[in-house]
Amino acid sequence: MGHYSDNCSHDLDTFWDELRNKCVPCHQHPQHPIRPGYEFSPNCGRHDDGGKSEGPYRLCAAQTFNNGSFVTCKPCSSCPANYQKLSECNATTNTQCCGSRDQTGCWKEALGTTTQQVQRSTTLRVQMSTSNPTTAKHIDPTLHVNHQTAWIVLTVILVLSVLAFLLFIYIKKRRRRSRAFCFRDKDNKPCFKVNLNCLPSDNILYTNQQSRSSRRTAAVNEEVALLQSETRSLEDILSPDIQSAPLQTVLDNLDVLEELVILLDPEIPGAKNTRHLASRCSFPATWITYTYSLRDSKSPLRAVLEGITTKHPDWTVGQLARLLREMDRNDAVAVLTKLALLKVV
């Protein structure tokens, strides 16, 4: 085998680097990596002055191979005696032998070896599909990038699907809340109308089935004690401005509304609550039950007050206070005294 470099004639696997002024191995050139199935041409095909007589690679000769680990092609091995040959030597793979006496074991090994050969052959075809070795180096990274892009797209689609599902659940709950005053019966008939005739007990039939002996035993605050004293006149408790204020004032004052919800929504034995107030206002029993079933998302008391103000916008705080007095819920009447004074224009 001849040489092209006089300076590096002692080592044909190197070439003369004019910048470094020394012989450099061919595989250290950034554009000349070791390639399976090939070996380097003498002095990488380069002259001392930088000229080229041939390309940097030569195909492995017959009965030699390079699996990508050697600078030069190596001779193919022969199977020892009593060994079975699984595959012939080729440019990228040495001879494959099986030393197992068990024929089944040999075939299992042959199957694994064949798979490796197919993978190496595919890699070799990709590398040989281009004449520029630099381009061949960038094929596998591109495929890897495309694979990553596909996973990113799938992840984005999955996230969007989950967000769409959560949005659907949220809209469904909102619609369910908006139908609190309109629902169908078991025969799927149109929504029934709630007839609100909330009046003091002189104009309503109401049967008190709660036992007087089972009154609440919890301690009351000073305001409740004052309301349960001998002075029973509502005018002595609520100012005329508060009594004449629209019932909507209670809904607008969140602090007062929150205290009323805490007092009236819980179902405490012996104490009248929102259910009794709704019944006095002629809400159907089915509507009351349905409203309490949504208690986790909306207060039943708020639903009752909204229903009253919708049907009777002229209702006042004083009318609500009289109903609470008749229900012996003077503690709730005391809360109404905390309403901010609003002058009705």
d(CA 256, CA 320): 14
- Written as six digits, the tokens of 98 are 């099986």
Round to whole Å and give the CA distance between 116 and 112.
Answer: 6
Dihedral angle sign, alpha carbons of residues 42, 44, 45, 46: negative
- Beta-ladder partners of 25: 14
Res 266: pLDDT: 93
- Note whether 274 and 301 are within 8 A (CB): yes
In angstroms, the CA 209 to CA 198 distance is 19
Phi, psi of 278 (to 5 degrees): -65, -40
Q: Is-contact 75 95, C-beta < 8 A?
A: no
pLDDT in tens, the chain (345 residues): 678 888 898 888 898 888 888 999 988 888 889 999 999 889 898 888 888 888 889 899 999 999 988 988 999 999 988 888 888 999 999 999 887 555 555 655 554 554 555 455 545 444 554 445 444 444 455 555 567 888 899 999 999 999 999 999 988 777 655 444 444 444 444 444 445 555 444 333 233 333 333 334 343 344 444 444 434 578 778 888 888 899 999 999 999 999 999 999 998 898 899 999 998 888 999 999 998 998 889 999 999 999 999 988 999 999 999 999 999 999 999 999 998 754 443
Tokens of 35: 């390639």
Per-residue model confidence (pLDDT) at position 208: 36
Q: In angstroms, rounded to a whole number, what is the distance separating the alpha carbons of residues 27 and 14?
A: 8
Is residue 90 within 8 Å of 120, Cβ to Cβ?
A: no
Asked if 293 and 168 count as a contact pair (C-beta separation under 8 A), the reply is no
pTM of the model: 0.36
Q: What is the C-alpha separation between 34 and 37, in angstroms, rounded? A: 9
3-state helix, strand, coil in the chain (%, to 5): 45, 10, 45
